[in-house]
Amino acid sequence: MSDAPRPARAGRFGRWSDWVVAAVVLIAIILLRRWLHHAQLESTPVIVPADVVARDVVAPPAATIARRMLKDVEDIVTPPKRPRLAVLTFDDGPFPVTTPLLVAELHALNVPAVFFIIGRDAQEQPALTLRAHAAGIELGNHTQTHPEMKTLSQPQQAMEITEGATTIRRLTGIRPTYFRPPHGAYDAATIDAARAAGDTVALWDVDPGDWRVLTADRIVDNVLAHGRSPAVLLLHNGKFATLEALPRIVKAYRAAGFEFVTLSQLQARLSLPEINDPVRVALQ
Task: Record the pTM.
Answer: 0.83
The answer to whether residue 203 sits within a structural domain is yes
For residues 138 and 191, membership in a common domain is answered with yes
Asked if residue 212 and residue 113 are part of one domain, the reply reads: yes
Query: Is the same domain home to 103 and 240?
Result: yes
pLDDT for 35 equals 42
In this structure, the answer to whether residues 62 and 144 fall within a common structural domain is no
Q: In the chain, how many domains are there?
A: 2
Residue 18 CB coordination number (10 Å) = 10
Residue 1 counted as domain residue: no
- In the residue annotation, 91 being an active-site residue is answered as yes
The catalytic residue among 92, 210, 236, 277 is: 236
Q: Which of 77, 93, 111 is where one domain is finished?
A: 77
pLDDT for 72 beyond 70: no
pLDDT value at 133 more than 70: yes
Q: What is the pLDDT of residue 30?
A: 44
Pick the most confident of 44-48, 76-80, 111-115. Answer: 111-115
Note down the domain range covering 53. 6-77
Kindly list the distances between the CA atom of residue 245 and the CA atoms of 52, 95, 201, 223, 250, in Å, as whole numbers in the listed order: 36, 18, 27, 10, 9
pLDDT higher for 270 or 15? 270
Catalogue the E-assigned strands of the chain: 85-91, 114-117, 138-141, 178-179, 200-201, 228-229, 231-236, 259-260, 279-280
Question: Which domain CATH number covers 257?
Answer: 3.20.20.370
For residues 225 and 102, membership in a common domain is answered with yes
Task: Exactly one of 91, 121, 187, 205 is catalytic; name it.
Answer: 91
